[in-house]
């Protein structure tokens, strides 16, 4: 009887703590090893919490039956809780690489894509969603798009392609499609097990390069996804991190967000080269020296900067729902220290960094006569990263600074106050900054 009392009291108090301090439990249990049984894993949590409480139970006050029912309730909740925690604790991670175009997200995606043995990687699946939701005048309704992105991402993290299928055009037939955007950029979607027999005469714009496959059978893709230990999705389409909060709170997922950012002045310079036609206005403004600040293009630039900054601000504020789930990475740091940053990302993700992925990074960032990528360390990479300073007219740098000032400041990009400063090689515009206390 005595023992039962003691146990009941202990569990009763633990129940109260669990209700109140869910956070501590999830934090502590995250640290516990996968191998532990739920009971063993939960035990130290109780001890730890109890020792901090002025615990003087008046054993004679509540009746035995009350204690028993509390005990039963407690047990049920603990079991339910453990079940959910165990699902997450099995070690499966869901990584979302959040970026905007020209921030090196494809390259960073490769860090994970190349670790193909235990990683299911998808490259821009939301492309289809954005395309389908694009309004007549261009652009999407941000609210509608955000909801669709969130729901599709959630399903994809669970290896379910059905919602995405609804956005693929032409619609898949029997879950088979020849049109999945950039299929070939995802090693997982071109593996032997996902490779259907080649079909002659079917045009596949995104056909596998590594082997000859027929149109993608999404059932096979889903099966492959389920077999892989971790799931990684890269997207340049999510605008506000906050819209993904339900993913972070979904007990079936263990989501980690990695937000990639880059100096918006460099992004503009890069986009003016990559998307020449779209950025013709900017070229003309640069030539005439007159930028209409109320132009749609400038407003869009400001909107992008604000979205990126607000997402980062939320992440860096570390609200409870994002605790341990957010990492900010600057393009410039990846370009200068690729291996170090990759190791940090893997550590943050809670995934072992395998020699295979390391070897790929080594090969693709080392001096190579053919490589002219900004990630090549053949030339001085610090210089490479700041090369945009010689291609972006000062006038445009000023415009970016005037509409993206707070964004530049948050990420540690120095403002230039003259054309001389912009092109002064001896002054780096990248401040050393540590964002993540990993
Ligand atoms: C314990 O509870 C009983 C009955 O409610 C009460 O009479 C007694 O004073 C309490 N003892 C202490 C130490 O609080
Ligand atoms: C377990 O917890 C979840 C989330 O709080 C709840 O939706 C579900 O109904 C619970 N299940 C049981 C069996 O209590
Ligand atoms: C976006 O769509 C929602 C829901 O359909 C609608 O209420 C809202 O007015 C739309 N927003 C804009 C800017 O069109
Ligand atoms: C796709 O793969 C599944 C699983 O192997 C198979 O049952 C199905 O018949 C395939 N679909 C087509 C259209 O071949
Ligand atoms: C690379 O360039 C930066 C800036 O010009 C300079 O500070 C640094 O010493 C250079 N590093 C090497 C290895 O040349």
Query: Where a domain ends, among 385, 407, 432?
Result: 385
Residue 74: per-residue pLDDT: 79
In this structure, the answer to whether residues 83 and 186 fall within a common structural domain is no
415, part of any domain: no
Q: Which pLDDT does position 373 carry in this prediction? A: 52
Distance from Cα 129 to the centre of ligand 3, integer Å: 17
Query: Ligand 3 centroid vs 141 CA: distance in angstroms?
Result: 6
Of all atoms in ligand 3, which is nearest to the CA of residue 141?
A: 1
* Same domain membership, residue 278 and residue 309: yes
Flag whether 392 is in a domain: no
153 and 13 both lie in a single domain: no
Give yes or no: residues 76 and 168 share one domain: no
Q: What is the mean pLDDT of the chain?
A: 84
Tens of pLDDT, residues 368-421: 444 455 544 445 567 789 999 999 999 999 999 999 999 999 999 999 999 999
User: Does one domain contain both 332 and 186?
Assistant: yes
Distance 181 CA to ligand 3 centre (A): 27
Residue 83 pLDDT = 54
Confidence of residue 78 (pLDDT cuts 50, 70, 90): confident
Ligand 5: list residues with CB < 6 Å. Answer: 380, 382-383, 425
For position 48, what pLDDT does the model report? 35
Residue 33 lies in a domain: no
Instruction: Evaluate: CB of 173 within 6 angstroms of ligand 4.
Output: no
Q: Judge if 332 and 365 occupy the same domain.
A: yes
Query: Domain range spanning residue 1?
Result: 1-19+62-90
Cα–Cα distance measured from residue 213 to residue 331, given in angstroms and rounded to the nearest whole number: 34
407: in domain: no
**Shared-domain flag, residues 381 and 325:** yes
* Tokens describing residue 90: 């099995």
- CB of 143 closer than 6 A to ligand 3? yes
**Number of domains forming the structure of the chain:** 2
DSSP per residue over 17-64, as a string? Answer: HHHH-HHHHHHHHHHS-TTS-HHHHHHHHHHHHHTTS-----TTSS-H
CA dihedral 143→145→150→155, nearest 10 degrees, is: 140
Q: What percent of the chain has pLDDT over 70?
A: 79
pLDDT digits (tens, 9 = 90+) for 338-380: 999 999 999 999 999 999 999 998 888 875 444 455 544 445 5
24 Cα: distance to centroid of ligand 2 (angstroms): 19
Pocket test for ligand 5, best of 383, 384, 387 (most atoms within 8 A of CB): 383
| Domain edge (last residue) among 46, 75, 90 | 90
Instruction: Specify which residues 327 forms β-bridges with.
Output: 258
Q: What is the DSSP letter of 430?
A: B
Quote the pLDDT of residue 26: 46
Based on the fold, state whether residues 82 and 156 are members of the same structural domain.
no
**Would residue 115 count as lying in a domain?**
yes
Domain boundary pick from 90, 108, 130: 90
Domain membership of residue 156 (yes or no) is yes
> Is residue 323 one of the residues assigned to a domain?
yes
pLDDT digits (tens, 9 = 90+) for 270-306: 999 888 888 998 989 988 888 888 898 999 999 999 9
Residues with CB under 6 A from ligand 1: 58, 60-61
CA-nearest residue, atom 14 of ligand 4: 217
Look up residue 393 and give its two tokens. Answer: 């007219």
Same structural domain, 76 and 99: no
Q: What pTM, to 2 d.p., does this model score?
A: 0.75
Rounded average pLDDT over 187-215:
94
Ligand 5 centroid to residue 431 C-alpha, Å: 15
pLDDT at 79: 67
Is 417 a member of any domain?
Answer: no
């Amino acid at each position: 009887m005595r023992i039962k009392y003691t146990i009941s009291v202990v569990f009763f108090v633990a129940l109260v703590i669990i209700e109140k301090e869910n956070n501590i439990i999830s934090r502590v249990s995250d640290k516990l090893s996968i191998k532990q049984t739920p009971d063993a894993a939960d035990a130290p949590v109780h001890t730890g919490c109890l020792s901090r409480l002025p615990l003087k139970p008046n054993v004679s006050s509540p009746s035995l039956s009350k204690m028993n029912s509390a005990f039963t309730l407690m047990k049920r909740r603990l079991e339910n809780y453990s079940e959910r925690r165990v699902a997450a604790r099995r070690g499966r991670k869901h990584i979302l690489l959040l970026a905007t175009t020209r921030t090196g997200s494809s390259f960073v995606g490769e860090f994970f894509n190349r670790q193909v043995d235990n990683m299911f990687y998808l490259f821009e699946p939301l492309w289809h969603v954005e395309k389908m939701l694009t309004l007549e005048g261009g652009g999407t309704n941000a609210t509608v798009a955000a909801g669709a992105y969130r729901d599709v991402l959630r399903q994809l993290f669970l290896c379910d392609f059905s919602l995405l299928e609804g956005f693929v055009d032409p619609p898949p037939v029997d879950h088979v499609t020849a049109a999945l955007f950039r299929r070939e950029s995802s090693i997982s979607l071109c593996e032997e097990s996902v490779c259907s027999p080649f079909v002659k005469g079917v045009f596949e714009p995104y056909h596998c390069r590594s082997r000859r496959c027929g149109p993608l059978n999404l059932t096979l893709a889903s099966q492959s996804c389920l077999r892989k230990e971790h799931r990684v999705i890269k997207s340049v389409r999510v605008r506000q991190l906050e819209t993904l909060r339900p993913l972070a709170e979904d007990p079936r997922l263990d989501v980690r967000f990695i937000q990639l950012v880059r100096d918006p002045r460099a992004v503009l310079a890069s986009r003016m080269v990559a998307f020449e036609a779209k950025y013709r206005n900017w070229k003309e403004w640069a030539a005439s020296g007159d930028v209409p600040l109320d132009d749609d293009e400038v407003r869009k630039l400001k909107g992008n900067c604000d979205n990126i900054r607000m997402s980062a601000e939320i992440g860096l504020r570390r609200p409870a729902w994002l605790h341990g789930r957010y990492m900010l990475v600057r393009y410039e740091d990846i370009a200068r220290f690729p291996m170090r940053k990759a190791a940090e990302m893997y550590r943050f993700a809670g995934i072992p960094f395998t020699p295979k992925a390391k070897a790929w990074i080594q090969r693709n960032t080392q001096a190579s006569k053919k490589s002219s990528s900004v990630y090549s360390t053949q030339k001085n990479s610090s210089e490479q990263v700041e090369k945009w300073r010689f291609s972006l007219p000062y006038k445009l740098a000023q415009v970016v600074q005037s509409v993206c000032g707070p964004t530049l400041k948050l990420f540690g990009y120095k403002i230039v106050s003259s054309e001389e400063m912009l092109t002064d090689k001896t002054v780096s515009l990248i401040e050393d900054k540590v964002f993540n206390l990993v």
